[in-house]
Amino acid sequence: MQEVGYAKQSVEGITTRAGVGKQTIYRWWPSERRFGLAAMAAVGVCGLVVTWWSDPLDKSAVPEMAQMSPLVFSARGIAPIGCAAFAFVLGVTVGVLVRRTLPAMALTLVAFAAIQLAMPLLVRPHLMPPVTSTFELGRTNVNGLVPQGQEGGGVQIFLSTSAVPGHAGGPTKRELCAS
């Protein structure tokens, strides 16, 4: 692809470069699009393996290295699949517009790196933070408790949403302060 660009790439060119027969490539990837999708799927599998492997580390992480930190976020869950898809589409778009392989690759790399830096530093801080609330569990908002295990298991708590502060139908801050 580097020699002729994405627009002029063919399965025949891939087989010649790889030194394999056309039947081998056509068996796995009948078109260039499927070859790109297979590459994104491979990135996704790698991302999910990294997520599985690092789950114990994420649970014990200090707040500076939590899952939403810029370095960690793009390497966990399905985020690598989205990054790979975006990079692929960005590369194809730049390649079609520039029509020169090396400059298109350089522009794609610079644009992708700039966007990867801009999102966590400039955009993500302005997104809405998660909403959390703390309230006391009591007779007015707990509908039931169900033990989950025989010995030392957890307890499932059923809440009445009409008595949970901040929930639709729940008491307002003014009502809570008055009581």
Query: Which pLDDT tens digit goes with each residue over 47-66?
Result: 888 888 888 877 777 666 66
Q: The pTM is what? A: 0.51
Best-predicted range by mean pLDDT (4-13, 20-29, 87-96, 141-150): 87-96
Winning range, highest mean pLDDT, from 8-17, 46-55, 131-140: 46-55
Q: What's the rounded Cα separation, in Å, for the pair 97 and 101?
A: 11
Q: What pLDDT does residue 176 have? A: 45
The pLDDT of residue 65? 62
Q: pLDDT tens digits for 152-166?
A: 667 777 766 665 555
> Residue 144 pairs with which residues in a beta bridge?
158
Q: How confident is the model at residue 179 (pLDDT cuts 50, 70, 90)?
A: very low
- Sorted by sequence, the CB contacts under 8 Å of residue 123 that are 6+ apart come out as none
What percent of the chain is predicted at pLDDT more than 90? Answer: 10
Pick from 116, 120, 105, 108: nearest CA to 83: 116
Q: Mean per-residue pLDDT for 39-54?
A: 84
